[in-house]
Amino acid sequence: MAQDYDSPRNKDEDEESLQALGKSSQNSSSDIDDDENAIAEDYELPGADLSNEDASVTVIPMQGDEFICSECFLVKHRSQLAYTTADGQPVCKECAA
């Protein structure tokens, strides 16, 4: 729809549209607050008591083509090996950078 922006404005229409915007923003803000509260209920706070929770994680042992970086102590694939220190400790590419 084309609109002529150079034409004179009608102040009554502007006031009505501002009132309508004010009413719609009040209604939508209460909806947003409800959504935020529902989302916040799902988050766990740090230090929360998780003693009654059951964690089922399968631990896979380190593979033959992996190493533990002596700087960051993460298990890395051998393709990430940058160098080995004088005492034989491996260092990954991220720590070497």
Backbone angles phi, psi at 67, to 5 degrees: -145, 165
Length of the chain counted residue by residue: 97
> What is the value of pTM for the model shown?
0.44
Give residue 31's pLDDT. Answer: 53
Closest CA to 78 of 91, 60, 96, 61: 91
- Per-residue pLDDT tens for 21-52? 777 665 555 555 567 777 777 777 777 777 78
Amino acid present at 9: R
- Per-residue pLDDT tens for 52-91? 878 788 889 999 999 999 999 999 999 999 999 999 999 9
Pairing of strands 90-92, 75-77: unpaired
Contact 75, 67 (CB under 8 A): yes
pLDDT above 90 (res 93): yes
Give residue 29's pLDDT. Answer: 52
Q: What is the DSSP string of 19-50?
A: HHHHHHHHHHHHHHHHHHHHHHHTPPPTT---
